Amino acid sequence: MADTRVELCGITLDNPVIPASGTFGYGREFAELYDINCLGTFSFKGTTLEPRFGNETPRIAECPSGMLNSVGLQNPGVDAVISEELPELRKLFSKPVMANVSGFSADEYCEVTRRLAESDVSEMIGWYEINISCPNVHGGGMSFGTDPCMAGEVVRAVRKVTDKPLIIKLSPNVTDIAGIAKACEAEGADGVSLINTLMGMRFDLRTKKPILANVTGGLSGPAVLPVALRMVYQTACAVDIPVVGMGGVSSAEDVLEMMMAGAAAVEVGAANLRDPFASKKIIDALTAAMEKYGIDKLSEI
């Protein structure tokens, strides 16, 4: 029997499949459809200090083999996540969850992580996934993830408030993603995850205006898989910490390919929006795909 278990920063996952942040909410809606305990884990919606309604609509534009989104980190804020979302999730999910943290300053990342770490639901959290694709309001709006110094500053700050594994989620909108990963590793990150969405835009030919109210948005889905594989490969070659791979994964074969590129575990994003059963279907297909390609143990890929 093929062995699908993998290890991520000292925690064993039954399989490497992790629904990606922003495409699985806080798990509740999906738990109505299937038992989400079949997942390796999942990364919950990017959580900020204050509640956010997100950007104006339209904020989704379909593309061939993918989608553009400018949802803008809509979430109920960290205090509601602690008092409402995680207690509900505890009834439905018995595995450690990945807490996705967003912020617009190093202090905000720190405060969100600190509140989660000091809360009475903190034992539910296995890993903190720190999304550094957010703009730095004190740095002229430039994304933390596009500059090794700013990325390192966030890791240094958050490292002080938790001993749990810190996985830094990197932006692909850079020339040298491996350099950013190395800066995070040097400041004490336990892992990196990539890729977040690629900046893009589309126009409506009738109105002659951008489709998204926000003008630009992030591209994800099958179209980005080759770019993601290249970036995961380059990063895995450059760092000694685990790499969580994502970007365009929509089948068990894509999971194997991502792991061949060097990923220790694999997140699945837009595919969950196209088909809410996508992550479960990928897990169900994993053993047969491993047998087809002569892989006994995923951890040895």
Ligand X SMILES: Cc1cc2nc3c(=O)[nH]c(=O)nc-3n(C[C@H](O)[C@H](O)[C@H](O)COP(=O)(O)O)c2cc1C
The full DSSP string for 29-76 is: HHHTTS-GGGSS--BPPPB-SS-B--SPSP-EEEETTEEEE-----B-
For ligand X, the closer CB: 178 or 271: 271
Residues lying near ligand X in the complex (CB under 6 A) are found at: 20-23, 45-46, 69, 71, 73, 100, 131, 169, 196-197, 220-221, 224, 246-249, 268-271
For ligand X, the closer CB: 39 or 249: 249
Q: Which residue among 63, 134, 149, 184 is the active-site one?
A: 134
Smallest distance from ligand X to CB 211, Å: 15
Smallest distance from ligand X to CB 280, Å: 15
Half-sphere exposure of 168 (CA within 13 A, CB side): 37
Quick check: is 63 catalytic? no
E runs forming strands in 89-216: 97-101, 125-131, 166-169, 191-194, 198-200, 203-204, 209-210
Query: Which residues have C-beta within 8 Å of that of residue 252, sequence separation ≥ 6?
Result: 282, 285, 286, 288, 289
Smallest distance from ligand X to CB 276, Å: 13
For ligand X, the closer CB: 61 or 224: 224
The helix or strand, by DSSP H or E, that contains position 217, with its residue range, turns out to be strand 217-220
Distance between alpha carbon 249 and the CA centroid of its chain, in Å? 12
In the complex, residue closest to ligand X by CB? 22
For ligand X, the closer CB: 169 or 182: 169
Smallest distance from ligand X to CB 25, Å: 10
**What residues act catalytically?**
134
